[in-house]
Amino acid sequence: MNFGWSFFVTNIMLGVGLAMDAFSVSLANGLNEPCMRKIKVFAIAGTFAFFQALMPMLGWICVHTIAQHFKTFEMFIPWIALILLGFIGGKMLIEGIKNETDDPCLSKRLGLTALIMQGIATSIDALSVGFAIASYNLVSALFAALIIALVTFCICLPGVLIGRSAGTKLAGKAGILGGIILIGIGIEIFISGIF
């Protein structure tokens, strides 16, 4: 495979398109936890980048092995995203409503399990990118996944930072807004996936 300009531009654009949901969820995470440490900011962006790279590779593997079974699974992708993001967003919304304090640092912290669920929910639609890169050999597919991961990381990092900054200003209401954003993203993924 020739790593020309079109290869890089195509995969950068794929990365940008795939990272939009992850950016919104990163923003919601920053809103919900405005006092998060810098290491966690990088961990959130890194988690989304990892899953955005993993899913196209899994899709590529499916195309080269069990493509007929992937088509059956593909119809469940919007439902999975809706359930995962709706559950996490609903939980965040309820905790934001229950939170009576105006101290933003006392908000509920995002746990590892919830972060992994968010990573899966926002990247599961990237499985279909495996079909877009099906003509690539393994090295090219891995390189494309790396480009997608870097683009996602670069988009999600400012998302968390912007949310964290706004969350400090919104005090106790940030968790409510973050929950609404997550539920909205789940609904958007569901509607666009079904229709």
What tens digit of pLDDT does each residue of 74-87 get? 777 778 778 877 88
Contact in structure between 25 and 52 (CB atoms under 8 Å)? no
pLDDT of 42 above 80? yes
Task: Quote the tokens at residue 130.
Answer: 């495996």
Report the pLDDT value the prediction gives residue 107, as an integer from 0 to 100.
Answer: 60
- Pair of tokens at residue 103: 């101290």
- The pLDDT of residue 40: 93
With beta carbons less than 8 A apart as the criterion, state whether 60 and 194 touch.
no
> Cβ atoms within 10 A of the Cβ of 125, count?
21
Q: Which residues of 98-110 are buried (b: 16+ CB within 10 A; e: fewer)?
A: ebeeeebeebbeb
> At a CB cut-off of 8 Å and minimum separation 6, what does 100 contact?
172
pLDDT of residue 151: 96
